[in-house]
Each structure stands twice: as structure tokens, then as C-alpha cells.
Amino acid sequence: MWWKFGGERAPGGMPHYMELGARVSDGWSPGGSAKVALRDPSKPTEDPMTDERMALVELLQKSGDSDFLRAVAEAVLQILMEADVEGLIGAGRHERSAERLNYRNGYRDRSLDTRLGPLSLRIPKLRQGSYFPPFLEPRKTAEKALVTVIQEAWIGGVSTRRVDELVQAMGLSGISKSQVSKLCKDIDERVSAFLDRPIDGEWPYLWLDATYLKVRDGGRIVSVAAIIAVAVTTEGRREIIGLGLGPSEAEPFWSTFLKSLVKRGLKGVKLVISDAHDGLRHAITRVLGATWQRCRVHWMRNALAHVPKGQHTMVAAAIRQAFLQPDAEAAQQTWRHVADQLRPRWPKLGTLMDDSEHDVLAYLAFPAQHRTKLHSTNPLERLNKEVKRRADVVGIFPNEASITRLIGAVLLEQNDEWLLQCRYMQIEGMAELTPLLIDADPAKLPPMAA
């Protein structure tokens, strides 16, 4: 294929021709005309690409100077695809042939990003089988790599704007929030397998904590509670065993979440540590039959709310005297003594201490080696901060599925790190939770054990 630029002719009356792909000479100006020297269409020809060449001519004549090279690239690639498809089919467009192997079935649009900019291509479709142009094959690998980069960046807490800048730096046109969300749906399968895995063995300690996130619901922005469950095995290993989403913290929600953990195999829970969520205590008693430990840190904040700010240090130091006692009995005595001292000045604080004594000091009935990690939900604080950091990047989630995707991926990564670390609790203290079989009454042993 040859191109003629301008109206000048070489000696002998022949026009100047330029092969497709050659550089345009400096003598050609943007205002000059661009014509294609082709055979006379009225004359018969055996060239099967005549129609495509005419389409190329018309396209180039309609294109502006700024889109000239892009239009040429699009037209050439389209001609290559059409010729390739004709070879696969065994016949040209609208051609009757006994050697035909297949039929055309329309087109599908595809954008190809190049140095000239995005090229709009129409990839031919076949009735039987499929066709994909070979010159696009290398881009498949690049797309997969890009998707992986976007997924890792999004889960890692990179904002959508930063992801968009990253995509543009790689030479593409950018990416929207919805595109990021669609690309990250590939993570769902991995997250679902993690959150729905069976829970084997016994888990004496269970921590529960709620993080509130914003999500769109029917055109409104509502707050949902994301419940994270962390437990420790009898071998002292810590794992994340569940994630639940709910509109409130009423007892039905907590009961449903705890029942889902039991259904997956959770058993042997002896102590549940959490904040004073509404309905949680009843759900723990009804579903797990375990002791409840009210988070000591959250309780202290509630207690100091009844005291003037200038007295916070003194009152907190007095209450902490109960936490320094070696056993539950001494701690209860100190607790009541401090409550009686504070009651005259702050009656509401005294009433709070009376009502919450057993809940705040419940951890003292468990092995001393474990108490520093049982009295509050502080072991979850670092995890909660990481969850909030990732959630703040998103701001408002489009739906609950996107919350499960992102938070679940964060929990999966954290759980893998915990499994590689040392034991979270001393295994020697676990022996105190269950009496040894050799010390039990042989008459009460199960038949198999006896």
C-alpha cells in the first residue's frame, strides 16, 4: 500500500509515493491534503482486501490531523483482523464458498492502549468457537499483572486516587472507583474460604470487638457494625475465626453471629472478652455458656465520665489498686473499699462499681500467666487500627460485600502473620483450665477413656 502526499509530481508525471509506516517528509504541511493512490475501483480485481482498503481511505479522509496516526493504526489493525478471520472461516464477507468452515457473528469492542493513545478496535466474533487477535496476546499478561498490582495496592490501604495515578504512570488512561471494585472481586473466593473455614479443636478464650463503618443502603448512608472474633487454642495459638456485619448490636444479631461460629465448630469457650455491647452478655450465656469479661479499659473510660476531669488521675489510681491484687478475693475486697470511699462524692460512680464488679474482675478466676491479656480487648487494638486505616481510605463502602472483601483480606493477612509467630499464651497455664484425667474420678470417666 502506498500513500501520495500533496499534488506535486516527480519527473515523468508520476506522483510521489510513500510506503505505509514511513516518516512523513518535512515538506508536508498539516494543511495539505492526504490522498491514497489505489487501483480504479471500477476495474475488476482479485484482491480480497479491496473493500477494507476503501474503508481505510474513507476513514483517513474524515480524520483530523491530530488523530492521523491513531486512525492509521486502528485501520491497519482492523484490516489485519479481518484478513485473519477470513482465513479461519475459509471465505470472505458475503462470499459463497464450498470451503467455508464457519460464519461471522458480529463484533465486540476492545480498547488497546498504545503510545499513540487508546485504539478502538472491533474484534470479529464467530458463531462457533472464538477469535482473539494474536497481536493482543501479550497484553493479556500485562493486564493480569496490572490487576494484581491494583488488588495489592487497594488491600494495602492505597487510596483510589493513588491507584489511579499508579495506573496512569504505567501508561494507561486511569481507573475509576467502580473499576477498582470490580477488579478486586477476584479476592472474594480467597476471603470466603478463610472466613468460612471449619474451626477445629477447643478455644478457651474468645475476644469480640465491633468497628463501625459507613455503607450505602438504598440511597442512604448508614452505619454498620463489623464484628471481629479472635480466639486462642489450647496450644496458645491466636487466630481470627470470624467476621460478622450487622445493623445493630441487639441480642438477635449477636446470637446469630455466635451460632454461626458454633456451627463451624467453635467449642470449649470458657471466657469471652468484649465491651459492654447491648445484648451481648445474654447471647454469650445462651449460645456459649461462658463467663463474660467486660473490657477493663472501656469500663475505666465510662467510670471517669462520672468524675470531673481534674480528678481523673486520682480516681483512676484508686481503682487500679484492685487490679494489682494477687487473687480474686483480695481484688473484690479492695474494689468494694474504693467504691465506698468514692461513693459520697460521686454516687453514680459508686453505683457503677457495684453493678459491674463481677464483670470487670472476672479474669482473675483464670490462670495468672494469662491475666495480662484477658482483662481487656487491647490485644485487638492494633488489628482494629489497621482495619480502620484501610476503611478510612475507602470512606463510604458501596455495599456490605465490599466491606467483607476488604476487611476480610486484611484479617487474612494478619492471621497468616500470627500463625508464623510464637505462641500467644503460655501452654502451661492451659493445663489449669481443664483438670487432668488422671486426677478425675475413674467412675465418672467416659467408657472409652476408662
**Torsions phi, psi of 163, nearest 5?**
-65, -40
CA nearest to 289, candidates 243, 241, 255: 255
CA nearest to 399, candidates 150, 174, 220: 220
Quote the distance between the C-alpha of residue 342 and its chain's center. Answer: 49
State residue 351's pLDDT score: 92
CA distances (Å), 389 to each of 213, 382, 406, 410, in order?
A: 11, 11, 11, 11
CA nearest to 183, candidates 221, 213, 225, 155: 155
| Burial call 408-432: b when 16+ CB within 10 Å, e when fewer | bbbbbebbeeeeeeeebbeeebbee
Tell me the three cell numbers of residue 29: 504541511
- pLDDT for 306-320, tens place per residue? 999 999 999 999 999
- pLDDT for 260-270, tens place per residue? 999 999 999 99
State residue 436's pLDDT score: 38
Burial of 84 (0-12, 13-18, 19+ CB in 10 A): middle
State residue 31's pLDDT score: 43
Is the pLDDT confidence value at 241 over 90?
Answer: yes
What value does the mean pLDDT of the chain take? 76
Q: How confident is the model at residue 98 (pLDDT cuts 50, 70, 90)?
A: confident
Is the pLDDT confidence value at 35 over 60?
Answer: no
Three state DSSP letters for the chain: CEEEECCCECCCCCECCEECCCCCCCCCCCCCCEEECCCCCCCCCCCCCHHHHHHHHHHHHHCCHHHHHHHHHHHHHHHHHHHHHHHHHCCCCCCCCCCCCCCEEEEEEEEEEECCEEEEEEEEEECCCCCCCHHHHHHHHHHHHHHHHHHHHHHCCCCHHHHHHHHHHCCCCCCCHHHHHHHHHHHHHHHHHHHCCCCCCCCCEEEEEEEEEEEEECCEEEEEEEEEEEEECCCCCEEEEEEEEECCCCHHHHHHHHHHHHHCCCCCCCEEEECCCCCHHHHHHHHHCCEEEECHHHHHHHHHCCCCHHHHHHHHHHHHHHHCCCCHHHHHHHHHHHHHHHCCCCHHHHHHHHHHHHHHCHHHHCCHHHHHHCCCCHHHHHHHHHHHHHHHHHCEECCHHHHHHHHHHHHHHHHHHHHHCCCCCCHHHHCCCCCCHHHCCHHHCCCCCC
- pLDDT for 140-152, tens place per residue? 444 554 555 556 5
Average pLDDT over residues 83-100: 82
Average pLDDT over residues 295-316: 92
CA nearest to 149, candidates 180, 126, 117: 180
Tell me the three cell numbers of residue 442: 475413674
- pLDDT for 8-29, tens place per residue? 444 444 444 444 444 444 444 4
Pick the range with the lowest mean pLDDT from 154-163, 323-332, 379-388, 408-417. 154-163
Higher-pLDDT residue of 299, 93: 299
Tell me the three cell numbers of residue 180: 477498582
Q: How confident is the model at residue 197 (pLDDT cuts 50, 70, 90)?
A: very high
- For residue 94, give every residue at least 6 positions away whose Cβ sits within 8 Å of its Cβ, in sequence order, or none: none
CA nearest to 59, candidates 68, 50, 47: 68
Pick the range with the lowest mean pLDDT from 34-48, 57-71, 196-210, 213-227. 34-48
State residue 169's pLDDT score: 59
Tell me the three cell numbers of residue 74: 486502528
Q: How confident is the model at residue 440 (pLDDT cuts 50, 70, 90)?
A: very low
| Residue 1 CA neighbour count, 13 Å, CB half | 17
Does this model's pTM top 0.75?
Answer: no
Q: Within 10 Å of residue 314's Cβ, how many Cβ atoms?
A: 11
Tell me the three cell numbers of residue 213: 463503618
**What's the rounded Cα separation, in Å, for the pair 134 and 270?**
62
- For residue 31, give every residue at least 6 positions away whose Cβ sits within 8 Å of its Cβ, in sequence order, or none: none
**What's the rounded Cα separation, in Å, for the pair 353 and 335?**
8
104-114 vs 34-36, strand pairing mode = unpaired
Q: How confident is the model at residue 115 (pLDDT cuts 50, 70, 90)?
A: low
Is the pLDDT confidence value at 372 over 70?
Answer: yes
Tell me the three cell numbers of residue 431: 493445663
State residue 393's pLDDT score: 72
| Residue 45 CA neighbour count, 13 Å, CB half | 12
Q: How confident is the model at residue 131 (pLDDT cuts 50, 70, 90)?
A: confident
Higher-pLDDT residue of 215, 57: 215
With beta carbons less than 8 A apart as the criterion, state whether 242 and 258 touch. Answer: no
